[in-house]
Every structure is written in C-alpha cells, then in structure tokens.
Amino acid sequence: MSTNDTLITDLKAIVKPYIQNQEAFDSLNADTDFINDLKINSANLVDVVLDIEDKFDIEIDNESMDKMLNVKAALEIIETKLEEKY
C-alpha cells in the first residue's frame, strides 16, 4: 500500500462516526466532499479535524480548516503538516 492509500484508510476510519450517507462513504475517493457527499455538518467537521490532529499529532490552523472540504484537500493538508513535522 502506498502512503496515500494508508492515509485514506486512516481518514476513512476518522470520518466514519460522522457520516450521514453510507453510499458515498462506501465509494469514498479523493473527490468526495465532506459536506455535500458525506452529509457531515460543519460542527461535526470540526470533530473530524480534531480527530485528524490527534491521529497524526499535527495542528490544523484556521486557514487549513477553511480548505478542509474534501478528501483530496484533507490528504494534502495532512501530508504538508506531516512534512513540516519531520
């Protein structure tokens, strides 16, 4: 498995408790939108981001939070923050 696949697997586990659309979750891919596809509300999106911080031991700033709208953006932010860390 590539790093990206591992990240997607981790991300999928994180968003699972908050999703309201099982079908979109089952077919989750880079283009999946958290709010429009998975039907996560903006308040629960905060919980997703806090869970991402805990899982990867990174800190998400306000600017990154505003961009965190789909799987692709989330993966990019996580990768960038992980690179900054090491």
Which residues of this chain interact with other proteins, rule CB under 8 A?
41-44, 46, 49-50, 62, 65
- As beta bridge partners, residue 33 has 70
Q: In terms of CB distance, is 18 or 25 closer to other proteins?
A: 18
Q: How far is the CB of 43 from other proteins (least distance, A)?
A: 3
Q: How far is the CB of 29 from other proteins (least distance, A)?
A: 25
Q: 79-85: list long-range contacts, CB under 8 Å, 24+ apart.
A: 79/3, 79/7, 81/56, 82/56, 82/58, 85/57, 85/58
Q: How far is the CB of 1 from other proteins (least distance, A)?
A: 31
